[in-house]
Chain A
Amino acid sequence: MTTHRVSAFLAPRRRLQVAGLLTAPVAWLGLVYVVALAALLITAFWTVDGLTGQVQIQWTTENVVEVFTEALYRTVTLRTLGIAAAVTVIDVIVAIPVAFFMAKVANPRARHLLVIAVLAPLWASYLVKVYAWRALLSADGLIGWAGAPLGLDTPGYGIAGVILTLSYLWLPYVIMPIYAGFDRVPDRLLEASADLGARGGVTLMAVVMPMIKPAIIAGSIFAFCLSLGDYITVGIVGGTTQMLGNLVYTNVGAANNLPLAAAISLIPIGIIFLYLAAVRRTGALRSL
């Protein structure tokens, strides 16, 4: 009876319904994203007491100036950008043919199995996968052993190892949106293109690629942003390589300099904003 009264009360009040449905998620998003980001931004302008190690609310631009002028940060930023860009390019190049095969060639049964095969690694622990790569990349590991007859050696622990491992980790996140993109291209359009005289390659470039461009960009956002913020993989397979994530982590932990960590984290945040702005200009975000 009470439920009925509540329904009867809410039925003509659309705004109240919407408010009831959205309040919790919007509050959550507001708390997690906006407030946390704002707090980070503010912390970057605070200082640490050199003696006690306590964060003091004393306004200074010192941290930010240091991050944007010192050679160390420039080098690590460029290295991190290079790694993220390489991972993104590798993942997109690998994902396009896999996604195409899944969406347009495989029969429904094979497609189902492939989707599971692509997603299965996501169900395994991140650390397990990275340590597996550590084993693969080690001096007497599988990669060195398999490559030996071809005169190849393992890249070992360093930038190449980080790129390989990150490419492996983020590949499912790149395949799935591109697969969905291919899946949304109706077979009819491929037929229409062939009917109008286009060979397979022309159809791919003139019809399919423009249609899956948003999906490729969506996939690249995953690979790029996840790589940009990673600090665990580089610690395990990166040898002495440092990425921005490491610097943030070190300053939060060992160095106990939260304001400097916050200032460093402004770099990847800024890069991601620039990347999203560039993507937005292509118009790809609208069709996501």
Chain B
Amino acid sequence: MPTAIRLRGLHKRFGETVAVADLDLDIEAGEFFSMLGPSGSGKTTVLRAIAGFEQPTSGTVELFGKDVTSLPPFERPVNTVFQDYALFPHMSVIANVEYGLRVAGTPRNARRARAEEALAAVQLAGLEDRQPHELSGGQRQRVALARAIVLRPDALLLDEPLGALDLKLREQMQVELKQLQRSLGITFVFVTHDQDEALTLSDRVAVFDAGRVVQLGTPREVYDRPANSFVASFVGSSTLLEPPVAKAFGLADHLMAVRPERVSLGAPDGVPGTIAEVIYTGPEHRIVIDLDGLDTRITALEPNIGANAERTRGDRVTVSIDPADATSLEATASS
């Protein structure tokens, strides 16, 4: 696959603060690429540098083999869906969607047809003449999406587009975004701090921490094999096992991480402990165990199938971890 977006040595400082530190990144054409990280980790700055809103302190931005570092946003073949939608408040829905075509000089009939097509693609047909303030948050989101895709960009940049929506709507929009990306076949670059969203939607995920990409891979790679303790705790939840604890479980003698759903209870040769907490979450039970003589706690997840409903605080259990399910964090402990 050709490279859609290529960043080389991208560096951005705001005064004394380094927002992005010497970033190299290749995003392939047609992929759903997520930039995941906590706020202030530099992911939005990278997106803004790709769109052209932010001039990098040093480094280059290439779009489809062309260096666009010094080009203004209006000369870049990408479009952005903003976090707060940024709809023009004095224009109707259809005028918002037509805006880019109008600026480009597309004849009236052609642009009306394309705008209606884009609105249909985001399931907003029939709301053409509404004003933005008459729409719900989810509808505004869709208008912003239609306004960006109507220009048929080579890549669509999405800055936490679902952040302001409630959970149900967000889940529905995730599915629609994924379908839209498949049907359009263009590159989506998606910025989010929500790890569920990144894992659900993406072909590949870049995990950001303090201006750097700390891990780049498929959702499965990032979740199953976190590169360091930051990824292990930020993406999903993990229990970090200090070297003596890892050794007690028969794993290596250095820092390891394990996902709660990979911790099993009740094996005869497991590490003994006492249940400190049983948390009912609906589909599963989250069980926190104090391990004997190790001065540490470990969390296990058990599906709610009824049989384990009898576990209660103070019960004695044994805990075991399959070596294949634990991730070594030794090599990256210093990064």
Contact = CB atoms under 8 A, between A and B. Distances in A.
B280 interface: no
A198 B72 CA distance: 10
A48 interface: no
Interface stretch (B1-9, B35-43, B98-106, B241-249): B98-106
B7 to A, nearest CB: 19
Contacts of B89: 211
A46 B52 CA distance: 71
A194 B103 CA distance: 10
B79 A195 contact: yes
B103 A197 contact: yes
Given A186-B86, A188-B82, A192-B82, A197 B104 contact: yes
Nearest to B99: A196
A196 B89 CA distance: 16
A42 to B, nearest CB: 44
Contact of A195 (B51, B87, B90, B104): B51
Contacts of B99: 193, 196, 198, 206
A119 interface: no
A98 interface: no
A195 B84 contact: no
A197 B99 CA distance: 9
B286 interface: no
Contacts of A195: 51-53, 73-74, 79-80, 148
B151 interface: yes
A186 B89 CA distance: 11
A210 interface: yes
A280 interface: no
Nearest to A209: B90
B97 to A, nearest CB: 10
Contact of A211 (B51, B53, B79, B90): B90
A191 B86 contact: yes
Given A196-B147, A210-B90, A211-B89, A191 B73 contact: yes
B79 to A, nearest CB: 6
The interface size bin for chain A is 10 to 19
* Interface SS of A by simple majority: helix
Given A196-B99, A196-B100, A189 B74 contact: no
B151 A188 contact: no
A197 B103 CA distance: 7
Contacts of B100: 196-198
Interface in A186-221: 186, 188-189, 191-199, 202, 206-207, 210-211
B103 A198 contact: yes
Contact of A189 (B80, B88, B148, B151): B88
A236 to B, nearest CB: 43
Contacts of B53: 191, 194-195
A188 B84 contact: yes
Interface in A63-122: none
A181 to B, nearest CB: 12
Contacts of A197: 74, 100, 103-104, 151
A199 to B, nearest CB: 6
A193 B80 CA distance: 10
Given A191-B73, A206-B99, A207-B88, A196 B82 contact: no
Interface in B289-305: none
B86 A188 contact: yes
A196 B84 contact: no
B103 A196 contact: yes
B104 A194 contact: no
A210 B79 CA distance: 23
Pick from B73, B87, B104, B148 the residue with the most CB of A within 10 Å: B73
A141 B3 CA distance: 69
22 contacts: A188-B84, A189-B86, A191-B53, A191-B80, A192-B87, A192-B88, A193-B88, A194-B52, A194-B72, A194-B74, A195-B51, A195-B52, A195-B79, A196-B74, A196-B99, A196-B100, A196-B103, A196-B151, A197-B151, A198-B100, A206-B102, A211-B90
Given A191-B73, A192-B82, A196-B147, 19 more contacts: A186-B84, A188-B82, A188-B86, A191-B53, A191-B82, A192-B80, A192-B88, A193-B88, A193-B103, A194-B74, A195-B53, A196-B74, A196-B79, A196-B103, A196-B148, A197-B104, A197-B151, A198-B74, A199-B74
What are the nearest 9 A-B pairs in CB distance?
A196-B100, A192-B86, A194-B73, A188-B86, A198-B103, A210-B90, A195-B80, A197-B103, A197-B74
